[in-house]
Structure 1
Amino acid sequence: MKKLFKGNSESPESTKIKPEMSVERSKESKITDPNYTRDKLYKKGVSLMADEKMDDAVRAFEGALQVDPGHVDSLLKLGYARFHMGDLAGSMDDYNKVHEIDVTNSDAWNLKGLIYYRQKNYEKALECVEKSIDTNPTDGMSWYNKGCYYSLLNHIPEAIEALKRSIEIDVKNAKKAVRDKDFENVRADDGYRRIVEVVVLESVRQGYHKVGQIVWTTMLGKTEVEDAARKLVEKGLLIKEERNVGLSKVEEFEIAPELAAKIGVEKKGLFGTTKKINPLLIQHLKEISEAVHAVKTAIEKGDVEEVIAKMDVFIDPSKRGAQMIEHFFEEHRDIRLFKIRLTDKGYEYLQANKQKMIDLFDHIESQTTKKLRSETTQNT
């Protein structure tokens, strides 16, 4: 099954607060936050969706929209809830309202595509997901869905290319694709078999070294796993070892040392604990930190063209876009929106939102520093 929506599940506020403090803060919020009622209803709706109480969730989102008819997040979630209830017309209406507010909203385009997918109108679904990708070329879900629609239309090379692109953005899409019936039309293609190899390689990287373990974690067939592992050994990406277990021999696979140094591996320790060794992650975090410093300098200078160029580093998948999606998903979306607004409105928008941008990149810098400290400590 495809991903239908990004995983921004809101969790309830922490209960580790003294009751009197919680009441006091609640009173302050009601007075100082003009969106208090809207946000409360929105969060209630999200919680109800998580409990699969779609009827109640719809009422909560409708309440939030009575307070603020232009609240895009409530419209998106309302459409999503209606989609799951089978109200495709109502869902489409909600996404159309999102596009009346912001025609560049990629989530709404992707979700419109899913409505057409449900109706088996794959050509229209493809048109929608193309618009989603035009707006946000680093959205792995949209690329994945594009691959599905091309496969269902029996356009094999295009399906494989879109699927590969989605995997470059998020390797988890490879594991999902090998179980997705929408890709049945492409399973005989050499490109698809290489995707199976990616899944097997990633499973070994995560610490699953035996064929049986890989079969269990990926849901691939044993023959597929054995064939992919053999090809990976031939390519020098895996090393096969035979271990004596009682009177029999068991084959195990390890990542080749040169590759392990580049991508990092996870080793299963005693009592099932996992120790991660990932020098590549440290490198990526350092590069993000350097990019943050550069964009903050450009913002302070007030050079719109330079700010747009520096922001592109966080969006372009060939630069730091994929890493931002993995580690700073919400911030990646905010940067993308800032870039769109700067491109449309220029210097005045930069001056009006200068502090918001600085605050956002200060937050990314702080979180990057924490992650770096954690990785450095873990790997010493």
Structure 2
Amino acid sequence: MRHLMVWILGVMLFACDNEERTKGDDLYSEGNFSEAIKAYDEYIKLHPSHVKSLYNRGRSYEELGKFQKAFDDFTAVLDIDKKNTSALLSLSKFYYRDHKFDKAKYYGESAVKLNDNLPSAHFWLGRAQHQLGLFSEALTSYNNAINLDRELGEAYLYRGAIKMQGDRKKSACSDFKSAKDLGVKEAEVAQRKYCK
């Protein structure tokens, strides 16, 4: 009887634990970021090393424009799991947004080294390389991103921009068209400006 009670208690605790985590995840997936943060706060008080909750809370902060709090959560994730590619990519985007392109490049490269099958890792690495004037490297990164995900419209747009700088107008315009067809609004402007 005692073993049965211990087992039931264990199942109940697991169910409560799972429900708490699911509440934050559900709110996050619904786009209710403020409420998701509150749910994650409660869960993280009890489970301060729960990587998914820390990361999703950081993403929630990011969606609300609270970038420093997002940064704090992403770095906390890396303190726990140095190989977390999601956190590495989020830090690459953070530094890119902050115009610290060397750091954006570092985190993008780190993500690619851990998993070179992530199109977004190649894309953000390419964006940083592009801003640093490393056009050949950026072109390679955009090519890698597109080879992994043919639907990554922004990679076509920025690859087209590099090609345009290199006097490859026909190929650049083809990339702008692909980006436009994939819903990238800036591509339409680029097409009108350069591809008459």
User: Do they superpose with TM above 0.5?
Assistant: yes
Counterpart CA distance in 1 for 2:160 and 2:173 is 13
Which residues in structure 2 correspond to 1:34-113 (within 5 Å)? 34-113=13-92
SS at match of 2:49: coil
- Quick check: 2:157–2:175 contact (8 Å CA) kept in 1? no
Q: Kindly provide the CA deviation profile for residues 87-146 of structure 1, in whole angstroms up to 9, marking residues without a partner as x.
A: 333222212221222111111111111111121111111111111111111111110111
The question of 1:186 aligning with 2:162 is answered: yes
TM-score by length of 1: 0.42
Check 1:154–1:33 CA distance in 2 against 1; reply closer, same or farther (3 A cut).
farther
Give the SS at the match of 1:104: coil
CA positional deviation for 1:195: 6.7
Q: Which runs of 5+ in 1 are unaligned?
A: 1-27, 204-213, 229-380
- TM-score by length of structure 2 reads 0.76
1:176 and 2:154 aligned:
yes
Q: Could you give the per-residue CA deviations for residues 278-334 of structure 1, whole angstroms, max 9, x where no partner exists?
A: xxxxxxxxxxxxxxxxxxxxxxxxxxxxxxxxxxxxxxxxxxxxxxxxxxxxxxxxx
Match of 1:120 in 2: 99
Which of the numbers 135, 141, 159 marks the counterpart of 2:120? 141
Match of 1:158 among 137, 148, 151: 137
Q: Report if the CA contact (8 A) 1:83-1:91 is conserved.
A: yes
Output one character per residue of 1:29-64: Cα deviation in whole Å (capped at 9) or x when no partner. Answer: 985275433432333223323443322111111122
Task: Provide, for residues 174-218 of structure 1, a one-character-per-residue CA deviation record: whole Å limited to 9, x for no partner.
Answer: x233456xx685251367964764686x79xxxxxxxxxx86967
1:154/1:185 contact within 8 Å kept:
no
Matches within 5 A, 1:293-308: none
Q: 1:132 and 1:110 mapped to 2: Cα distance?
A: 6
User: CA 1:75/1:125 → structure 2, altered by over 3 Å: closer, same or farther?
Assistant: same
Report how many aligned residue pairs link the two structures: 186
CA contact (8 A) 2:54 2:76 kept: yes
2:37 alignment partner AA? V
Identical columns (%): 18
CA distance in 1, matches of 2:113, 2:190: 39
Change (3 A) 1:83 1:222: closer
The alignment partner of 2:128 has SS state of helix
Deviating beyond 6 angstroms after TM superposition, the runs of 4 or more aligned structure 1 residues are none
Q: Considering fraction of residues, name the structure with more strand.
A: 1
Instruction: Report the structure number with the largest CA radius of gyration.
Output: 1
Find the counterpart in structure 2 of residue 337 from structure 1: none
Residue type at the aligned position of 1:102: D
Structure 2, gaps ≥5 residues long: 1-6
Q: How does 1:1-380 map to 2 (within 5 A)?
A: 32=11, 34-173=13-152, 175-179=153-157, 186-188=162-164, 189=166, 194=171, 197=174, 220-221=187-188
